[in-house]
């Protein structure tokens, strides 16, 4: 019982640390894009740019999950996860590029309706997905049973 509690605590701690690192990376991206300052007037509701940023952030999150699964499966050589690695690599690239474009076209900061937080999240998650997909693809090329 104690071993299971230690593992649960370690997983919770790892999730909190990962969330803090993710938040820090998003903030660094916002500062480097010069859109970290709040807007003088806050725009409420869903704007086209917020929808764009949210869509690519969800795409990036899905590609991180696919890349993580592909990396995990490629280590054990279970199933044809080479396609998953390629999907994570391509979807991560699309998300990262769209997140960067969203930030490049943003004319205001947080609350301006430009979707800068979603764009920054898409950029960071897209880069993570690209790394996971690339690692899984490299592992699948080294293994004797490529699928």
pTM of the model: 0.78
- Residue 146's pLDDT is 46
Asked if residue 115 is part of any domain, the answer here is: yes
Asked if residue 77 is part of any domain, the answer here is: yes
- Residue 141's pLDDT is 66
Tokens at residue 38, please?
Answer: 């709040």
- Residue 142's pLDDT is 63
Rounded Cα gap, residues 29 and 56, in angstroms: 16
List of long-range contacts for 99-107, beta carbons under 8 Å, 24+ apart: 99/53, 99/56, 99/57, 99/60, 99/123, 99/124, 99/126, 102/49, 102/52, 102/53, 102/56, 103/29, 103/30, 103/33, 103/35, 104/33, 105/49, 106/33, 106/35, 106/49
Asked if residue 147 is part of any domain, the answer here is: no
Residue 93 is part of which domain span?
2-142
pLDDT string in tens for the chain (147-residue length)? 577 777 777 777 777 777 787 777 777 777 777 676 766 667 777 788 888 889 999 999 999 999 888 888 776 565 667 788 889 999 999 999 999 888 888 777 777 777 788 888 899 999 999 998 888 888 776 655 544
Asked if residue 103 is part of any domain, the answer here is: yes
Asked if residue 35 is part of any domain, the answer here is: yes
Domain count for the chain: 1
- Residue 84's pLDDT is 83
């Amino acid at each position: 019982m104690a071993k299971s509690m230690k593992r649960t605590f370690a997983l919770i701690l790892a999730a909190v640390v990962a969330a803090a690192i993710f938040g820090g990376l998003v903030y660094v991206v916002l500062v480097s894009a010069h859109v970290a300052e709040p807007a003088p007037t806050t725009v409420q509701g869903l704007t086209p740019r917020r929808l764009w940023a949210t869509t690519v952030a969800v795409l990036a999150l899905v590609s991180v999950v696919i890349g993580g699964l592909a990396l995990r499966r490629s280590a054990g050589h279970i199933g044809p996860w080479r396609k998953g690695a390629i999907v994570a690599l391509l979807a991560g690239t699309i998300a990262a590029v769209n997140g960067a474009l969203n930030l490049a076209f943003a004319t205001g900061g947080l609350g301006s309706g430009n979707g800068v937080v979603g764009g920054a999240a898409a950029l960071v998650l897209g880069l993570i997905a690209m790394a996971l997909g690339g690692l899984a693809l490299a592992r699948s090329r080294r293994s004797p049973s490529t699928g």
